Structure 1
Amino acid sequence: MPLSCIIVEDLQVAADYLGRCCEKSGLVTVKAHYTNVAEALEYLNKNAIDLLFLDVEMPGATGFELLDQLAYHPKVILTTSKSEYAYNAFEYNVTDFLKKPFTYQRFLDAVHKLIHQSSQDTPAPSGNNDHIFIKSEGKLVRLKNDDILFMESMGDYVKFVTNDKKFVTHNTIKHLEEKINKQCFIKVHRSYIINITKIDDIRENDLFIKGHEIPISKAHRAEIIKRLNII
C-alpha cells in the first residue's frame, strides 16, 4: 500500500515536481499540498499521514516550527535549498534531507530509506517483559524495568542509572531502542532513554528524575507530552 503524504512547500513549481515524483514512484500518494504552516498544521491535527515532505523556509513560520507543534510524529523528509539546515534536521530526527534541486533518483533513495526503516521497526514487547540483562564488568546483570531511572549514551557505551547504582555496558542508544519495553521507556533525546514513570517534573526543555536533569529534544517533546497522564 502506498504511503500517504502531504507536501508543505510555498513554491508551486517545487510542489508540482514533488507531486510528479510521488506519482511516478507509485510508492507515495499525495493527500494535500499546503503553502504555509498554519494550514498544514490544521490538516495534520485532524488527519494522520505516513510522510511529510516539508520545506523549511516559508511565509509566516518555518517548517521546524510546524514540527514543534505537531501532536504526533509522521516520518519527515525535509526539502530545502540550504545545506545549513542539515544539523537541525538531525536534531529533529527527520528521515532524510533533500537539497534542492534534487533528482528523481535522489527522491527514490529517500523514500526507500524510509520504507526500510519502517520495516525494521520492532514491535513493543509484551507487558510481561519486566526486566533486561546487561553485560557489565564481565558479568550479566539483571535489572528490573522499574529499577531503571534512565539510560545515557557515552559514545560506544551506555550508562544505566538506578536509584542506588550505575552500570556501564558496551552498547548504543540506537540498539537499545529496539530492545527495551516501550511501555516503560521512551527516548527523549539522542543521548537519553528514560523510564516514563520516573519523571518528577518537566521545566521548559528539561525533565528531572531523582535530581538528574535530562534534556528533551524538540523531536521527542510532543511524544513525551502525549504519554504523560495530564489532567
Structure 2
Amino acid sequence: MPLNAVIVEDLQVAADYLGRCCEKSGLITVKAHYTNVAEALEYLNLNSIDLLFLDVEMPGATGFDLLDQLAYHPKVILTTSKPEYAYNAFEYNVTDFLKKPFTYQRFLDAVHKLMNNPETPPSSGAGTNNNDHIFIKSDGKLVRLKNDDILFMESMGDYVKFVTTDKKYVTHNTIKHLEEKINKECFIKVHRSYIINITKIDDIRENDLFIKGFEIPISKAHRAEILKRLNII
C-alpha cells in the first residue's frame, strides 16, 4: 500500500518535482501540498500521514518550527539546498536529507531507506504518541493545549468543546477523530460524547463521574474500561 505523504515546500517548481517523483515511484500518494508552516500544521494536526517532505526555509517559520509543534511523529525527509542543516536533521531524527537539486534515483534511495527501516511504524497516528500537548484551531488560530490542562472534551455535533482548567475552546472536529489523535495514557473515552483526562477525576457516583464540579455521564459500554484503568477491583 502506498505511503500517504504531505509536501511542505514554498517553491512551486520544487514541489512539482517532488510530486512527479512520488507519482513515478508508485510508492507514495501525495495528499496535500503547503507553502507555509501555519497552513501545513492546521492540516497535519487534523490528519495522520506516514511521510512528510519538508523544506527548511519558508516564509514566517522554518521546517524545524513545524516539527516542534506537530502533535505526532510521521517519518520526515528534509529537502533543502543548504547542507548546514544536516546536523539539525540528525537532531530531529529525520529519515533522510535530500540536498537540492537531487536526482530521481536519490529520491528513491531515501524512500527505500524509509520503507526498509524496521522502526518505521505503519501510519503514524497521534493516538499512539507520548506528546504532552495537542494543537487545536479555535477562533481562527492554532492553540497549544497541554494535556495536563485539559479536563475533558465534549462533542457538540460537528464541533468539540475543550474544557481546560481556566478556559473553554470550541473547535471544528469530532470525538471520533480526536479518539485517534489523543495520548491514550492521559485520556479515555467514557461516553460517545465525552473524552476525559483520567488524572482529573474527583469521584465516581454510579453512572457519572465528576471533574472540578462538572458531571459527566459514563456509558455502559465504557464503564468496565474506566474501572480497569483506575485499578478498581
Relative to structure 1, is the Cα distance of residues 43 and 160 closer, same or farther in structure 2, using a 3 angstrom cutoff?
Answer: closer
Cα shift readout 1:166-201 (whole Å, capped 9, x = no counterpart): 999999999999999999999999999999999999
The runs of 5 or more residues in structure 2 that have no matched partner are none
Query: Contact 1:124 / 1:183 at 8 angstroms: preserved in 2?
Result: no
> TM-score scaled to structure 2, two decimals?
0.53
2:105 aligns with: 105
Moved more, 118-127 or 68-77: 118-127
Query: Contact 2:49 / 2:74 at 8 angstroms: preserved in 1?
Result: yes
2:55 aligns with: 55
- d(CA) in 2 for partners of 1:138, 1:59: 19
Higher relative contact order (CA 8 A, sep 6+): 1
> TM-score scaled to structure 1, two decimals?
0.53
Relative to structure 1, is the Cα distance of residues 69 and 184 closer, same or farther in structure 2, using a 3 angstrom cutoff?
Answer: closer
Moved more, 33-42 or 167-176: 167-176
Aligned length: 229
Query: Contact 2:50 / 2:123 at 8 angstroms: preserved in 1?
Result: no
Query: Contact 2:49 / 2:123 at 8 angstroms: preserved in 1?
Result: no
Relative to structure 1, is the Cα distance of residues 223 and 28 closer, same or farther in structure 2, using a 3 angstrom cutoff?
Answer: farther
- d(CA) in 2 for partners of 1:131, 1:211: 24
Query: Contact 1:160 / 1:166 at 8 angstroms: preserved in 2?
Result: yes
Query: Contact 1:152 / 1:191 at 8 angstroms: preserved in 2?
Result: yes
Shift of 1:120: 1.5
The runs of 5 or more residues in structure 1 that have no matched partner are none
2:119 aligns with: 121
- d(CA) in 2 for partners of 1:63, 1:204: 49
Say which SS state the counterpart of residue 93 (structure 1) adopts: coil
1:198 aligns with: 200
Say which SS state the counterpart of residue 117 (structure 2) adopts: helix
Relative to structure 1, is the Cα distance of residues 100 and 112 closer, same or farther in structure 2, using a 3 angstrom cutoff?
Answer: same
Relative to structure 1, is the Cα distance of residues 63 and 125 closer, same or farther in structure 2, using a 3 angstrom cutoff?
Answer: closer
Tell me the C-alpha RMSD between the 2 structures.
16.9
Moved over 6 A (4+): 122-231
Shift of 1:73: 0.2
Relative to structure 1, is the Cα distance of residues 62 and 113 closer, same or farther in structure 2, using a 3 angstrom cutoff?
Answer: same
Query: Contact 1:207 / 1:213 at 8 angstroms: preserved in 2?
Result: yes
Relative to structure 1, is the Cα distance of residues 215 and 140 closer, same or farther in structure 2, using a 3 angstrom cutoff?
Answer: same
Query: Contact 1:6 / 1:52 at 8 angstroms: preserved in 2?
Result: yes
Moved more, 219-228 or 5-14: 219-228
Relative to structure 1, is the Cα distance of residues 22 and 227 closer, same or farther in structure 2, using a 3 angstrom cutoff?
Answer: farther
Query: Contact 1:9 / 1:35 at 8 angstroms: preserved in 2?
Result: yes
Query: Contact 1:93 / 1:219 at 8 angstroms: preserved in 2?
Result: no
Query: Contact 1:125 / 1:182 at 8 angstroms: preserved in 2?
Result: no
Query: Contact 1:77 / 1:98 at 8 angstroms: preserved in 2?
Result: yes
Cα shift readout 1:78-99 (whole Å, capped 9, x = no counterpart): 0000000000000000000000
Identity of matched residues, %: 91
Relative to structure 1, is the Cα distance of residues 213 and 32 closer, same or farther in structure 2, using a 3 angstrom cutoff?
Answer: same
Cα shift readout 1:48-79 (whole Å, capped 9, x = no counterpart): 00000000000000000000001100000000
Shift of 1:221: 32
Shift of 1:121: 3.1
